[in-house]
Amino acid sequence: MKPSTRVLLTLAVLLSIAVPTGAQAPVPDPAKHLAGQIAGRAGEISRLQAQVRKSPKSLTPEQTPLSTVNLAVDFEPIYLSLIGSISKQAMRALEERRMDKQVGDASGSTAGSTSLVSKGGTPAVLAVAVENGALTQDTSGTTVTFRGSPVSIVQAIRRTPYFEMLETDDPAIEVLQKFSFSFSFDTSRGLADGAERTFTADRQQFSAATLRYSAVDNKDPRAAANDPRWNALSPATDVLNRAALAALKSLQADPAIVAWVDATNEAISAASLDEIEDVVVARFQSLPTVEIVPATRVAVNNAADQFKRMVSLRAEILREIAGGGQLVFDFAYQKPATGPTSGNVTVVGSVGRSFLLTGNVAATFYIGDVPANTESLRDVQGSVQVDIPFGDPEGIGRYVFTLATKIQHMPDDLVAGEGTLFPGTKGTIALGQAKLTIPVRGSAAKIPLSVTLANRTELIAEKKVFARAQVGFSYDLDAVLSRFTP
């Protein structure tokens, strides 16, 4: 991938990181992009100023220029703030802010699960989820699931930039990148009666492990299949680079901008730690009133026009990528609280742009001895899910409303842990689920809330409606790494 293309790719994904996989990428306009940049720099400057005031020599050479406002670091927010229409909308977005890839288990076989359907996306590095509830089982519990990619974890430890993790000339690594893993632990197991649930990650709490092979994932903007799309932006990139360089030179030579930078840093130095973020925002808010020379104004306006054009072109590319397909194969080892261990094979397919349509086909087999005249096939499953995103990704975040249905057929009575059968348990379970995934503003965390209805459970074949509510918490490190190690 060309360096210029990597820059574009970094910008594209940074601005769409809050968008769920498969959703149409709502690309923010320049004003919202500017608001995000100012808010981010205000927080960064405040944090580094707190560090340097506590220990003056604690900043690294890379951190020192980030602790103040300067053209080398803040060129883009400075020149965009000089455009009155963009700056005005950005400040409105900042005031609104101030008012303030499947992570968990989706097999339904663990004691706590908020998903009926497994999605095709996988965290590139590592994600953790805590989910509380039950779907097809009869007891509720809390399950902690870790999901990640071994190759990407090693690359992250080596400090490989997030958007370069898929770049390799080694065929073996290229194949290994398609594999990921997950481990689930049920915190309700291995406890004395009445004891508080505690996550120990020991053998007693271990409930499942999964190996995932991603055969196709064209929804990942970093995928090689999408390189031609990004490479097509090269001409526009060259124009933007020339315009930006001309604007930077003009700003560096403009006395009014030099004076504004000096005054801004003096205000930061004079402010208390609690005031620094507000001071930085206020100083950027004052930029449209700075009287720059006509030549600087022409250069700044030209750079802003090229930036808007780039945003529009990038938006179209992200819309095309969002419509890509996924095909995934899951191989799971399951250790339920009751009954023998089992293995599960799941095929996951998904496609969608403005909404994501996902389908699963799965089969579960007993591992080990089963009673005479009992087949090793435990159950077969089929499920469909629709994810509908809504909300402002640059505000509190992107919500996702989900509707799902699942059919699970058990051809024989289920096998108990002692090698006997649970009589009358064979049959078909039909489930329906509604879920709302709530973003936690300013972080990579999300909270899924779901309600599931079923005609029966695995161990209770009585024909009546069972209703369960589930709540969870997930944290995806991809969103963090993509921001701080692009």
* Cα–Cα distance for residue pair 1/157, rounded to 1 Å: 22
Tokens encoding 436: 């709302």
pLDDT at 203: 84
One domain for residues 175 and 67 = no
Buried-state track 75-108, b at ≥16 Cβ within 10 A, e below 16:
bbbbbbbbbeebbebbbebbeebeeebbbbbbbb
One domain for residues 384 and 460 = yes
| Contact assessment for residue 437 and residue 446, using Cβ atoms and an 8 Å cutoff | yes
One domain for residues 215 and 232 = no
Residue 426 lies in a domain: yes
| Of 158, 306, 266, 164, the residue nearest 224 (C-alpha) | 164
Residue 15 lies in a domain: no
pLDDT at 298: 93
Residue 105 lies in a domain: no
pLDDT at 286: 92
One domain for residues 451 and 314 = no
Residue 90 lies in a domain: yes
| Contact assessment for residue 81 and residue 73, using Cβ atoms and an 8 Å cutoff | no
One domain for residues 290 and 386 = no
DSSP 206: E
Total domains in the fold of the chain: 2
pLDDT at 183: 87
One domain for residues 292 and 345 = no
| Contact assessment for residue 283 and residue 267, using Cβ atoms and an 8 Å cutoff | yes
Phi, psi of 398 (to 5 degrees): -100, 115
Residue 17 lies in a domain: no
One domain for residues 330 and 440 = yes
Residue 106 lies in a domain: no
pTM of the model: 0.61
| Residue appearing with tokens 């057929």 | 409
One domain for residues 381 and 448 = yes
One domain for residues 339 and 291 = no
| Residue appearing with tokens 């973003």 | 439
Tokens encoding 97: 């802010």
Residue 172 lies in a domain: yes
One domain for residues 307 and 341 = no
What does the DSSP assignment read for 10-36? HHHHHTTTTSPTTS---PPPHHHHHHH
Half-sphere exposure of 398 (CA within 13 A, CB side): 23
One domain for residues 356 and 446 = yes
Q: What angle do CA 49, 54, 56 make, to 5 degrees?
A: 75
One domain for residues 130 and 238 = no
Tokens encoding 113: 């699960």
Q: How many helices (H) and strands (E) in the chain?
A: 12, 12
pLDDT at 463: 63
Half-sphere exposure of 84 (CA within 13 A, CB side): 5
| Contact assessment for residue 471 and residue 133, using Cβ atoms and an 8 Å cutoff | yes
Report the CATH number that the domain containing residue 169 is assigned in CATH. Answer: 2.40.160.40
End residue of a domain, out of 321, 338, 359 = 321
* Cα–Cα distance for residue pair 121/350, rounded to 1 Å: 9
What does the DSSP assignment read for 305-347? HHHHHHHHHHHHHHHHHHT--EEEEEEEEE--SSS--EEEEEE
End residue of a domain, out of 271, 302, 321 = 321
Query: What number of residues does the chain have?
Result: 486
Residue 63 lies in a domain: yes
Give the contacts of 131 (CB within 8 A, at least 6 positions apart). Answer: 104, 105, 112, 113, 114, 142, 143, 145, 448, 470, 471, 472, 473
End residue of a domain, out of 297, 321, 345 = 321
Cα dihedral: 438, 467, 204, 150 (round 10): -40
**Sheet strands (E) in 218-368:** 326-334, 342-352, 356-366
Tokens encoding 19: 């968008």
| Contact assessment for residue 394 and residue 442, using Cβ atoms and an 8 Å cutoff | no
User: Which residue range forms the structural domain that includes residue 447?
Assistant: 126-219+323-484
| Residue appearing with tokens 């208390």 | 272
The count of other CB atoms within 10 Å of the CB of residue 35 is 29
* Residuewise pLDDT in 10s, the chain (486 residues): 444 433 333 333 333 333 333 333 344 467 877 888 898 899 999 999 999 999 988 888 888 989 999 998 998 889 888 887 777 777 766 554 443 345 555 555 555 565 667 766 655 555 555 555 544 444 445 788 888 888 777 776 776 665 566 666 778 878 888 888 888 888 888 777 767 777 777 888 899 999 999 998 888 777 778 888 888 888 888 898 899 899 999 999 999 999 999 999 999 999 999 999 999 999 999 998 999 999 999 999 998 888 888 878 887 887 888 788 899 999 999 988 777 889 999 999 998 878 889 999 999 999 877 777 788 899 999 999 999 988 765 556 678 899 999 999 999 888 876 667 788 888 999 999 999 988 876 566 788 888 888 888 876 666 666 677 776 766 665 555 554 444
